[in-house]
Amino acid sequence: MRQKEQLGLGHAVLVTKELVGHEPFAVILSDDVVVGERPCIGQLIHAYLETHSSVVAVTEVPHEETCRYGIIDGHLADGGMDPRLYKLSGLVEKPDPADAPSDLAIIGRYILTPKIFDKLEQTPRGAGGEIQLTDAIEALMQEQDVYGYAFEGKRYDAGTTMGWLKASVELAMQRQDIGEEFRRYLQGLDLS
C-alpha cells in the first residue's frame, strides 16, 4: 500500500482502509525507536486486550516541546486497571506549550479500532495543513473510549539527526556481534 499524495499521517492511515478491513490494527511510526524488555507495540496490544478500546503510546516530554507532538488530556484509569493506563478526555495536535493540556505526548505506536476510518474520512486538514490522525482519534473519542499507555522503555526520536545518531551509537554498543569492536572504535576517537 502506498500513499501517493503526502496529505498527512491521517491520510496515510486512511489509504490502508481496504487492506485492514474490520479488525483492530497497529500503527507504527518508524522514526520513533523504542527499546526495552517488552516491545512497545506488545504493551499496547496487552492494553487493548484489557480495554477493548483504541490505545495510543504516551510519554512525558519537556513542557516547551509540546508543539512537536500530539498531546493528551486525561486521567489515570480507575483502580484495578493497569497503572500505566490513562483514560483520555481530549487530544490536541502540536499545541503551543501555553495551550497544552498536559506534558504527555503521543509516541508513534497506536492500536486503533476500524471505526477510525469513518472518522478519518470526515477529518478536515488540521495542524500544518495535513489530515491529522490525532484529530480523527479525538472524533473517535466522542463514540468510543480511547486510552493512553505510558509504555516501559527508552524512546529515541530518530526523526531528528541527533536522536538518530544517539539511537545508532547506543544500540550499536549493545549488539552481541559488533558491540565490543564498536566500543573500541569509539574509545580510539579523538574527542578533544
Q: How many whole angstroms separate alpha carbon 160 and alpha carbon 118?
A: 32
Exactly one of 116, 134, 156, 158 binds ligand G1P (CB under 6 A); that residue is 134
Judged by CB under 6 A, the stretch of 76-84, 113-121, 131-139, 184-192 that binds ligand G1P is: 131-139
C-alpha cell at position 38: 517488552
CA quadruple 165, 68, 41, 39: dihedral positive or negative?
Answer: positive
Closest separation in Å from C-beta 190 to ligand G1P: 35
Judged by CB under 6 A, the stretch of 13-21, 42-50, 127-135, 177-185 that binds ligand G1P is: 127-135
DSSP state, 67? G
Q: Which is nearer to ligand G1P, 2 or 22 (CB)?
A: 2
Exactly one of 85, 104, 106, 140 binds ligand G1P (CB under 6 A); that residue is 106
Does 53 interact with ligand G1P (rule: CB under 6 A)?
no
Strands (E), 32-136: 32-35, 54-60, 70-76, 85-93, 104-112
Closest separation in Å from C-beta 127 to ligand G1P: 8
Q: Is 3 in a helix, a strand, or coil?
A: coil
Q: How many whole angstroms separate alpha carbon 85 and alpha carbon 126?
A: 27
C-alpha cell at position 165: 545518531
Judged by CB under 6 A, the stretch of 11-19, 102-110, 116-124, 172-180 that binds ligand G1P is: 102-110
> Within 13 Å, how many C-alpha atoms sit on residue 175's CB side?
12
Q: Which is nearer to ligand G1P, 106 or 140 (CB)?
A: 106
Exactly one of 27, 92, 105, 140 binds ligand G1P (CB under 6 A); that residue is 105
Q: Which is nearer to ligand G1P, 153 or 159 (CB)?
A: 159
